[in-house]
Amino acid sequence: MLGEIESRLQASGKAIVDKDQSKQTSGLVSSPFTRSDGSLISPNVEGALIDVDPSRGKGFGRITNLHERGDDHLAKFLIVQQLFGEEEVNAALELVKNANKDLTGQAMAASILEELCKDKPAQLDTILSALIDRTKFAYVPLEYYDTDRQIAPMLPEYLTLGRLFAPFDLVSRTMMVACCNPFDSAGRDAVQQSVDYTVSWYLARPLAIVKTLQSIYRLDSRA
């Protein structure tokens, strides 16, 4: 009887192993770009982030589309709130989209707020106040904050320099990140996928974020 029980246990264990290997071969391992419905995603999806670290618990092959930067949503917000005229916003939006179209290396992204407020610095306070009311993000005076320079390199440069995200502090298991466009949900999702920390978001002035990132990465100041 003991021999028969042992044989059954061995057979059951082998069946479980074979089943697991079959799942891996037909799904995650051989096809890392598989959607939940079983269809394949091309591995050459332009502007996409692929999370291949299973330790994050985010799911193998999860993709976040990084084409969407939230600039259109921010522009609409500025127009609806009557903070700027529609023509002025659309002109700034077009300039920013062209500037951010083909960012490479350590190129710094452009901000629609910086473009609109470069000749109206006082207007930026009104915009930030409206954004805080709308999004409930906290504001951080990044220009006066003692930034921890070791945090930013935890994120890829296409998220920090390329999206104007400035990680400035790490408290326990929470990474604090400043941004100037709270409507960039795709970028914020990508940040959360990239780290094993809880991410807490703050609003900051675009120029303060730019100067912080320039200091961290030792980049030349903008002209």
Domain at 71-217, CATH homologous superfamily: Type II secretion system, protein E, N-terminal domain (3.30.300.160)
pLDDT tens for 137-164 read 999 999 999 999 999 999 999 999 999 9
pLDDT tens for 83-138 read 999 999 999 999 999 999 988 888 999 999 999 999 888 999 999 999 999 999 99
User: Model's pTM, two decimal places?
Assistant: 0.71
Domain ranges of the chain: 15-65, 71-217
Q: How many CA atoms lie within 13 A of 128 on its CB side?
A: 19
